[in-house]
């Protein structure tokens, strides 16, 4: 038996320069991304100086947003951003992973390509189109059917109480879920495809059924990567603006009910920038931008830490 | 007496399928011995990957509680043959087979036979060790049992130790049971995979070149292990290493280009084969 890799690990003569050049180019690109983030952060910080000095840290947990009274607080927007994104993840991750499982493990070969293409086309639809569809199709349906049903069956939970308007936190969650579904699905699909066949065969050889193979060999092997897919989806969800603005109701409030309207950081910046007439108003919007950037970065750092936890711990129920 | 199976000379497709009583193919000289229990009774077994025929009219009786080695040049159908013994081909689209394959009297491909039940009785160890990377050593061993619904802690604990002892791994890992299975060395991982197969209490163990990725010391350990397994299990081992076949098997089957050329006691195959092709292969003149 020959080992095919034994020749390729030796550097070919003359290959050192391109190697070094590539290393530097990649390093430079990475550095530029970091510089760019710092620059953006600095710009936002500079713009929000006025509001920072006026409200201090209280800006973060004040829930009042009243431009007329010159009172600005970020809490309803942070709440709206996190809740709508989490709702989207709750919907999109199971759906995306299930679709990816179907595409890689279950669907007949000739069905895989068309379904994949359809999902990828979903990613090409402009945000504003989703918003229009949300207003004219999704929201009426949610209002007249799903929400009514939820209120009827799960109405004992505070989540599903209160008046139904249509525009709501839940509608935003649904629309964001649809928008991040393609990326969650296609990354999950790549992750699942990278699970070695030998893992599946190991499970089959123990007498596992198809579903058991998915559980013990495929999903558990892929869980780290699937978590990564969810985080990429979350990254998209946090910054999603246009479609969300069109369906969330744009009311800066914190409500336990998912039927109630809300507002997100991205939406309020987009909506109110043009009408921000006073310096403090404008500066507060800048600070919201800074908060959005921070939330995104923090969520990603938290995800990295959780990812370490996933691989580091091996559970055992015996011994 | 001729050791070339009669059926092997018949062109593919010419012979009737599922002959009720095989003609006196007695595929081989004097094996299996009358008194031996037959684990696999295989007759006129052919198998195709799409249009490509990989096995041609194999007729062979593999004895229970013996080690049977499958040898032959690469691409001759050893793995294909082995994988048909526990219906692993069910997972490969486009495969097709003809003939009968009985395992302790049951038609493995008969109607109403559940492939998952077959695989629980006929375990498999692969060329490359493949423990589940997210599971601890203990969980790797017990995963098959848990799939079968076993929840009793004392049974699990007992089976864990028993399987690891049988796989000659217990002493090395008894204090590391909660460590990931993949933290072990290559040879240990392969023995872990053997323990995992044994834990579901199969009666037969198939091994496809189980030592080809291992160093000589790890290989020797697995070969010793095979010797102890033959007391309780039927072992069928594919190997491209003829010394290994000579060292650790009772019977040897020589395959060439999808056909079974000769099947006999290992000693006879390696000292005095009846077929010139076998002779050429075991003496290293081709393959
Ligand atoms: N999944 C497959 N699809 C198509 N042909 C295959 C497949 N697996 C094996 N073959 C072919 O079947 C023949 C026998 O292969 P295999 O049983 O793996 O040989 P061996 O294990 O003796 O090296 C080879 O010619 C190989 O190319
Ligand atoms: Mg092989």
pLDDT value of residue B150: 85
Instruction: Quote the CA–CA distance of B29 and B60 in Å, as a whole number.
Output: 11
Instruction: Quote the CA–CA distance of A74 and A63 in Å, as a whole number.
Output: 6
Residue of A198, A221, A315 with shortest CB distance to B126: A198
The separation between the first and the last C-alpha atoms of chain A, rounded to the nearest angstrom, is 41
**ipTM of this predicted structure:** 0.85
- Bond from prior residue into A93 cis (ω within 30 degrees of 0): no
- The CATH H-level (homologous superfamily) assignment of domain A19-318 is MetI-like (1.10.3720.10)
Contact B139 A202 (CB under 8 A): no
Domain-by-domain residue ranges, chain A?
19-318
Q: Beta partners for B238?
A: B70, B208
Interface subset of B 251-280, CB within 8 angstroms of A: none
pLDDT tens string B149-171: 888 899 999 999 999 998 889 99
The DSSP string of B180-239 is BGGGS-HHHHHHHHHHHHHHT--SEEEEESTTTTS-HHHHHHHHHHHHHHTTT-EEEEE-
Instruction: Quote the CA–CA distance of B30 and B269 in Å, as a whole number.
Output: 12
Q: What predicted TM-score, i.e. pTM, was given to this entire model? A: 0.80
Cβ–Cβ pairs < 8 A, chains A and B:
95
* CB of B76 sitting under 6 A from ligand 1: yes
pLDDT value of residue B83: 95
* Residue A52, helix vs strand vs coil: helix
* CB of B71 sitting under 6 A from ligand 1: no
* Residue B77, helix vs strand vs coil: coil
Ligand 2 centroid – CA A210 distance (Å)? 24
Q: Mean pLDDT in runs of 10 for chain A (319 residues)? A: 45 66 89 92 92 90 89 93 95 95 89 90 90 94 93 92 91 95 92 92 93 92 89 90 91 91 93 89 93 90 77 42
Within 8 A of B123 by CB-CB distance, chain A residues are 205-206
Contacts of A146 (CB under 8 A, 6+ apart): none
The DSSP string of A98-146 is HHHHIIIIIS-HHHHHHHHHHHHHHHHS-HHHHHHHIIIIIHHHIIIII
pLDDT value of residue B62: 94
Taken in order A208, A209, A215, A217, the sign of the CA dihedral is positive
Atom of ligand 1 nearest to the CA of B208: 21
Structural domains of chain B in order of their starting residue, each with its CATH number:
4-282 (3.40.50.300)
pLDDT value of residue A302: 85
Task: With a cut of 50, list the residues of chain B below it in pLDDT.
Answer: 1-27
DSSP single-letter state for residue A208: -
What are the φ and ψ backbone dihedral angles of B47, each rounded to 5 degrees? -150, 140
């Amino acid at each position: 038996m020959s080992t095919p890799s034994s020749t390729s690990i030796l550097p070919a003569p003359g290959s050192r320069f391109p190697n070094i050049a590539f290393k530097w180019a990649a390093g430079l690109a990475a550095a530029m991304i970091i510089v760019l983030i710092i620059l953006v952060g600095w710009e936002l910080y500079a713009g929000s100086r006025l509001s920072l000095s006026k409200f201090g840290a209280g800006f973060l947990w004040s829930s009042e947003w009243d431009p007329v009274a010159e009172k600005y607080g970020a809490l309803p927007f942070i709440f709206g951003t996190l809740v709508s994104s989490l709702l989207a993840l709750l919907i999109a991750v199971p759906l995306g992973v299930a679709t990816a499982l179907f595409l890689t493990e279950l669907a007949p070969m000739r069905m895989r390509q068309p379904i994949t293409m359809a999902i990828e086309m979903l990613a090409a639809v402009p945000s504003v189109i989703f918003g229009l569809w949300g207003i004219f199709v999704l929201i009426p349906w949610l209002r007249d059917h799903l929400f009514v049903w939820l209120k009827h069956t799960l109405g004992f939970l505070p989540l599903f109480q209160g008046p139904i308007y249509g525009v709501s936190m839940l509608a935003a969650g649904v629309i964001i879920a649809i928008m991040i579904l393609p990326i969650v699905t296609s990354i999950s699909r790549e992750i699942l495809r990278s699970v070695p066949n030998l893992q599946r065969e190991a499970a089959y050889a123990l007498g596992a059924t198809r579903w058991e193979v998915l559980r013990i060999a495929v999903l558990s092997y892929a869980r780290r990567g699937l978590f990564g897919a969810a985080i990429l989806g979350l990254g998209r969800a946090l910054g999603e603006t246009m479609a969300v603005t069109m369906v969330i109701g744009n009311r800066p409030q914190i409500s336990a009910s998912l039927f109630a309207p809300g507002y997100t950081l991205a939406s309020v910046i987009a909506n109110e920038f043009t009408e921000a007439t006073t310096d403090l108003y404008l500066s507060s919007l800048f600070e919201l931008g800074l908060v959005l950037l921070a939330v995104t970065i923090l969520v990603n750092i938290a995800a990295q830490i959780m990812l370490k936890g996933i691989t580091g711990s091996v559970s055992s129920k015996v011994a | 007496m001729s050791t070339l199976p009669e059926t092997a000379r018949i062109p593919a497709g010419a012979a009737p399928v599922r002959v009720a009583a095989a003609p006196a193919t007695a595929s081989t000289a004097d094996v299996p011995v009358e008194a031996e229990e037959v684990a696999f009774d295989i007759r006129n077994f052919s198998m195709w990957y799409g249009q490509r025929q990989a096995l041609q009219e194999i007729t062979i009786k593999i004895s229970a509680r013996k080690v049977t080695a499958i040898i032959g040049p690469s691409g001759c159908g050893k793995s294909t043959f082995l994988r048909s013994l526990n219906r692993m081909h069910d997972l490969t689209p486009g495969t097709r087979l003809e003939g009968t394959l009985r395992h302790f009297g049951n038609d493995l491909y008969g109607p109403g036979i559940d492939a998952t039940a077959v695989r629980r009785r006929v375990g498999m160890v692969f060329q490359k060790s493949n423990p589940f990377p997210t599971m601890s050593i203990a969980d790797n061993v017990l995963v098959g049992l848990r799939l079968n619904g076993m929840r009793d802690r004392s049974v699990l604990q007992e089976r864990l130790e028993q399987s690891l002892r049988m796989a000659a791994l217990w002493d090395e890992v008894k204090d590391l049971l909660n460590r990931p299975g993949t933290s072990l060395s290559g040879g240990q991982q392969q023995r872990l995979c053997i323990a995992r197969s044994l834990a579901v209490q199969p009666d037969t163990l198939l091994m496809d070149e189980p030592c080809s990725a291992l160093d000589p010391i790890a290989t020797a350990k697995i070969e010793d292990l095979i010797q102890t397994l033959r007391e309780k299990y039927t072992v069928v081992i594919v190997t491209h290493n003829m010394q290994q076949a000579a060292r650790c098997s009772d019977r040897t089957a020589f395959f060439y280009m999808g056909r079974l050329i000769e099947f006999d006691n290992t000693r006879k195959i390696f000292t005095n084969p009846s077929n010139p092709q076998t002779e050429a292969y075991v003496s290293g003149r081709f393959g």
